[in-house]
Amino acid sequence: MTGARPAQLLLLLAAAPARGAEGPLPPGAQALLDALHDIHEPAAPGALPPAPGWYVLATALLLALVAAAVLLRRRRARTRPVRAALAELDAWERAARSGGDPVGHAETLAALLRRVALVRYPRPEVAPLGGDAFLAFLDRTLGEAHFRDGPGRVLGDARYRGRIELDVPALAALARRWLQEHEDGPTVTVSSPAGEAA
């Protein structure tokens, strides 16, 4: 009987339009309608497992993060010598401002710039240079003539010619600018002109 009740209800409902929507329901139809259950909404889809597109997106995001981390690490490794040199330059500037031996301070700064130049440029191009030839190299790689003709001249052969005077702020600013220009690597391709090796 329970299997026949829904079938009876369907027959009654199908016949209702033929009789008109306003007409009375056949006997027992209301009881059959009352026995029906409400429509239930289906449960929301679960979060797991996600659709395949989410796996693709997660993989792409993970690869992008790994690539960014690798690039950042390489950049930090590439800029490490100059960052260390800039910290050393700050210490040099404090020591040079407090006085002491100007020739010794000039030699210290020249050695600092030479170490960075040896890291950033091929050793055969930089190692044989000394004195004014090294200053000419610094000027070529900076694109300005402030080492040979400016405050940087005390870093060349001038420091061996007796007493020198350091313009510490100008010299520190010039060295800082050269170091910052070379933070990511060489700025120009340089080969020593003939006769500059000292």
pLDDT tens across 45-98, in order? 777 777 888 889 999 999 999 999 999 998 888 888 888 888 999 998 999 888
pTM: 0.62
143/135 Cα distance (integer angstroms): 12
Residue among 184, 180, 182 at smallest CA distance from 172 = 180
Contact 167, 96 (CB under 8 A): no
CA dihedral 69, 71, 77, 78 (to 10 degrees): -160
| pLDDT computed for residue 195 by the predictor | 41
| pLDDT computed for residue 58 by the predictor | 92
Alpha helices in the chain (DSSP H): 4-19, 29-35, 52-97, 102-120, 123-126, 131-142, 168-181
Ranges in the chain, pLDDT < 50? 1, 192-198
Question: Is the bond preceding residue 49 a cis peptide, omega within 30 degrees?
Answer: yes
| pLDDT computed for residue 22 by the predictor | 61
